[in-house]
């Protein structure tokens, strides 16, 4: 497991976010307090409407909080975004269909003004990292959904950001592909030592991947519980049968149940 | 084989149907004149003779296809292209102002769309005027454009091209506004996470995403550019161009000449539209569109 070097690369204090809608204000996030250390793998888990994606988007400076404080790498989210502190992986692969896989990985590098030679080197390196060497010249539609999402991870890693923000990246994939990608993601995390924030609504996925699980609940969106998840450094899919794994999964499930009153559902 | 089955047979069938209908109507519409002639000369005319005559009149109500074909052959191949009696000459005149007007119109439309997409104020202020501009009948405004530009000593190709521009910028502007706004939120968010500048978002996302819209609107624009060029030729005193040819034809009752000019215009439009289709196909292939 990567060594925890930096304290509080993400620091959220009393953060709230209210969306103004036609049906009145919606408390998307309420009183969020959270600290993430460098090199951690943190999962946000919770039912729909609990604000897990919104919180990720606040960290990414894609949404603005209504009140409270947040720092990313010791800066405001906006400064961190301008310094390209993070790579963002969306629910869908969001590859540009008119660009080849190589061209898509190259996109952030072009935006950042890297030379052609350096781009070529980084494209090759990052496609290899996600096992997509040889697909550089293919167009997105020629790849399966899992491969497309791997390409989008390569794209997020291509400019070597400190952090990887992932918004249900494997949510649209079938379970077999998802298991496989989870294993690959863990290896990738060990290799690159990046801080990962990972949004999911799958309990096994969260427990399998994370060092810390943030259980969230809806209406208003808030943090219900933060569960440490130290399942050792070498995780394989087999650990999902171990008592330690099941114990944490149980705690997460209990947390979700308590946090969610199931009113009106 | 596929080409024959998918293109030649369906298109050929329609073509034959049109020809049959055309001949039928030529006989029906031209027959009264022949009967009239026979009645005046107090002679009987056999049906066979009647039908043959309806297809060989000098000024028929509706000329038969082969008469139009013969007129086209004569005015294209027998007459030097520099002569004012040559159809090639007139097509050339209309073609050049169509192309100039279409080029300017596309450019204007794209620039307007870029401005509108990037500025809320322009979106609110320009869009109603752009739509209003197209409600003015072109037949009313075309002579005015010619007259006004003549007064400031702009004559020849440009005034006619301006009329084509006036018509053709509209579909391009409307299409490109939609096209430049077509990227998904996720694709735009992605650019934001890279801290991309507005021009980078434009060139790397909005512009490529708008290509299908551009070519679709260009096809419409080129067709109405041709209409604009022909309309523009009508008030210029019928000097040259397909419009002039149509006008002269109607002055002297030269229906065969009118139909030849009409066919030439239709052919030109078809060629221009397919050329744009060809460019679109090439661009699509480069952009990896699923075949």
Q: How confident is the model over A131-172, as pLDDT tens digits? A: 899 999 999 999 999 899 999 999 999 999 989 999 999 988
**What pLDDT is recorded for position B224?**
93
pLDDT at position A176 over 60? yes
* Residue A261 confidence (pLDDT) above 70: no
pLDDT at B84 (0 to 100) = 82
pLDDT band at B237 (very low <50, low <70, confident <90, very high): low
CA distance A37 to A60: 16
Percentages helix, strand, coil for chain B (3-state, rounded to 5) are 80, 0, 20
**Which strands, in side-by-side order, build the sheet including A24-36?**
A24-36, A10-21, A67-72
- For chain A, say whether B282 makes contact (Cβ under 8 Å): no
A111 vs B200, B208, B211: nearest CB = B200
At residue A13, the pLDDT reads: 92
Give the pLDDT score at B268: 93
Q: How confident is the model at residue B249 (pLDDT cuts 50, 70, 90)?
A: confident
Rounded CA-CA distance B87/B80 in Å is: 9
Long-range contacts of B25-29, Cβ-Cβ distance < 8 Å, separation of 24 or more? B25/B62, B26/B54, B26/B55, B26/B60, B26/B62, B26/B63, B26/B64, B26/B65, B27/B51, B27/B54, B27/B55, B29/B60, B29/B61, B29/B62
Q: How many other CB atoms are found less than 10 A from the CB of residue B55?
A: 16
- Per-residue pLDDT at B37: 87
pLDDT of residue A42: 94
Question: Which of A57, A59, A63, A90 is best to mutate for the B interface (most B CBs within 10 A)?
Answer: A90
- For chain A, domains (ranges, CATH) are 1-85+165-265 (3.40.50.300), 95-160 (no CATH)
State the smallest CA–CA distance between residue A111 and chain B in angstroms.
6
Q: How far from each other are the two terminal CA atoms of chain B, in whole angstroms? A: 19
For B:172-201, CB contacts with A below 8 A are: 184, 186-187, 189-196, 200
Predicted pLDDT of residue A196: 94
Q: pLDDT (tens digit, 9 = 90+) per residue, A229-251?
A: 888 777 888 888 888 889 899 99
> What percentage of chain A carries pLDDT values higher than 70?
96
Which residues between 173 and 212 in chain A have a beta carbon less than 8 angstroms from any beta carbon of chain B? Answer: none
* B41, burial (CB in 10 Å: exposed 0-12, middle 13-18, buried 19+): exposed
Region B89-118 average pLDDT: 94
Tell me how far apart the alpha carbons of residues B209 and A86 are, in angstroms, rounded to a whole number. Answer: 25
Write the pLDDT tens digit of every residue in A64-123: 999 999 999 889 999 999 999 999 999 999 999 999 999 999 999 999 999 999 999 999
**What was the pLDDT predicted at B46?**
86
Give residue-wise pLDDT tens across range B143-192: 888 888 888 888 778 888 999 999 999 999 999 999 999 999 999 999 99
ipTM of the complex: 0.88
Which whole-number Å values give the CA distances from A193 to A160, A231, B234, in the listed order?
A: 11, 17, 75
| pTM, to two decimals | 0.85
pLDDT for the residue B252:
87
Name the minimum distance, in Å, from the CA of B6 to any CA of chain A: 26
Q: Tell me what pLDDT residue A2 has.
A: 46
Binned at pLDDT 50, 70 and 90, residue A264 comes out as very low
Residues of chain A neighbouring B211 (CB-CB closer than 8 A): 98
* Number of inter-chain CB pairs under 8 A, A vs B: 57
């Amino acid at each position: 497991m990567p060594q925890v070097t930096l304290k509080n690369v993400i620091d959220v204090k009393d953060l709230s976010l209210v969306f103004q809608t036609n049906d009145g204000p919606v408390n998307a996030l309420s009183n969020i307090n959270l600290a993430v250390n460098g090199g951690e793998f943190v999962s946000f888990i919770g039912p729909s409407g609990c604000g897990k994606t919104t919180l990720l988007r606040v960290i990414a400076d894609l949404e603005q909080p209504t009140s409270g404080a947040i720092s990313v790498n010791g800066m405001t989210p906006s400064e961190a975004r301008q310094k390209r502190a993070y790579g963002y992986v969306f629910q869908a692969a969001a590859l540009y269909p008119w660009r080849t896989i190589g061209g898509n990985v190259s996109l952030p590098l072009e935006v950042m003004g890297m030379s052609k030679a350096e781009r070529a080197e980084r494209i090759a390196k990052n496609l290899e990292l996600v096992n997509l060497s040889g697909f550089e010249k293919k167009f997105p539609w020629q790849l399966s959904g899992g491969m497309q999402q791997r390409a989008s991870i390569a794209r997020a890693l291509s400019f070597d950001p400190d952090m990887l923000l992932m918004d249900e990246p494997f949510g649209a994939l079938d379970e077999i592909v998802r298991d496989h990608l989870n294993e690959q993601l863990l290896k990738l995390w060990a290799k690159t030592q990046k801080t990962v924030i990972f949004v999911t609504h799958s309990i096994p996925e969260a427990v399998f991947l994370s060092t810390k699980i943030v259980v969230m609940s809806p209406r208003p969106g808030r943090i219900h519980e933060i569960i440490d998840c130290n399942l050792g450094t070498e995780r394989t899919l087999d650990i999902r049968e171990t008592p330690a794994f099941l114990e944490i999964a149980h705690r997460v499930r209990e947390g979700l149940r308590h946090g969610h009153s199931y009113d009106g559902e | 084989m596929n080409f024959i089955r998918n293109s030649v047979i369906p298109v050929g069938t329609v073509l034959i149907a049109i020809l049959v209908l055309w001949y039928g109507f030529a006989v029906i519409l031209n027959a009264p004149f022949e009967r009239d002639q026979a009645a005046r000369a107090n002679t009987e005319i056999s049906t066979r003779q009647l039908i043959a005559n309806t297809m060989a009149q000098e000024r028929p109500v509706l000329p038969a296809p082969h008469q139009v074909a013969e007129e086209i052959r004569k005015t294209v191949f027998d007459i030097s292209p520099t002569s004012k009696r040559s159809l090639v000459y007139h097509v050339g005149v209309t073609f050049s102002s169509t192309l100039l007007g279409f080029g300017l119109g596309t450019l204007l439309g794209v620039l307007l769309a870029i401005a509108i997409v990037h500025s809320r104020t322009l979106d609110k202020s320009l869009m109603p005027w752009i739509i209003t501009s197209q409600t003015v009948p072109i037949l009313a405004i075309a002579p005015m454009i010619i007259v006004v530009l003549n007064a400031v000593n702009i004559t020849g190709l440009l005034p006619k091209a301006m009329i084509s521009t006036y018509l053709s910028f509209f579909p391009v502007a409307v299409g490109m506004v939609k096209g430049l706004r077509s990227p998904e939120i996720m694709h735009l968010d992605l650019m934001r996470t890279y801290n991309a500048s507005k021009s980078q978002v434009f060139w790397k996302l909005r512009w490529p995403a708008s290509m299908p819209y551009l070519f679709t609107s260009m096809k419409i624009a080129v067709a109405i550019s041709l209409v604009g060029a022909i309309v523009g030729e009508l008030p210029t005193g019928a000097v040259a161009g397909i419009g002039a040819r149509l006008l002269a034809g109607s002055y002297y009752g030269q229906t065969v000449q009118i139909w030849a000019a009409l066919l030439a215009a239709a052919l030109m439009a078809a060629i221009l539209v397919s050329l744009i289709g060809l460019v679109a196909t090439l661009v699509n292939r480069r952009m990896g569109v699923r075949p």
